[in-house]
Amino acid sequence: MTVEIERRFEAYLRSVRMKRSTHRTTVLRVFMGSTKPMTSLELLYAVKQADVGVSLGVVYSTIKLMIACGLAREIVDGRKTLYTHEGVAACSHPHLICRDCGAVVARAEGPGGLFQNPH
């Protein structure tokens, strides 16, 4: 992860009158180091490897902040929500992106197509 990403996140936090914390920074670093889309629980388990003191609440709030400042994307995949960033290789299946809210929904090829779980 680059220093530029941390600075961008910190600048966003300042713009919304929030402070940087070691827990938020740990979540950001682990997330940006991921190589595949992750659920919030998968991210929590990965973050716990670095700092056992980070809670699920911190992971959730940090994900929302990363989405708000453009560092993360949310992908709704059937029954689960995945989070990804620009550094993760593109998925091999198509997605639908809402023009109003930016929500991303996985779309599988084949019979029925929409809202099937391609993973």
CATH code, domain with 34: 1.10.10.10
Secondary-structure percent of the chain, ordered helix, strand, coil, rounded to 5:
40, 15, 45
Residue 13 forms part of a structural domain: yes
The pLDDT tens digits of the residues spanning 4-33 come to 999 999 999 999 999 999 999 999 999 998
Residue 115 forms part of a structural domain: no
Q: Rounded to an integer, what distance in angstroms lies between the CA atom of residue 25 and that of residue 7?
A: 11
> 104-106 and 95-97 as β-strands: parallel, antiparallel, unpaired?
antiparallel
Number of domains, the chain = 1
Q: Are 37 and 82 in contact (CB under 8 A)?
A: yes
Band of residue 91 on the pLDDT scale cut at 50, 70, 90: low
| pLDDT at 61 exceeding the cut of 60 | yes
| Domain range for 48 | 3-106
| pLDDT at 102 exceeding the cut of 70 | no
pTM over cut 0.85? no
Residue 116 forms part of a structural domain: no
Find the helix or strand (DSSP H, E) in which 95 lies. strand 95-97
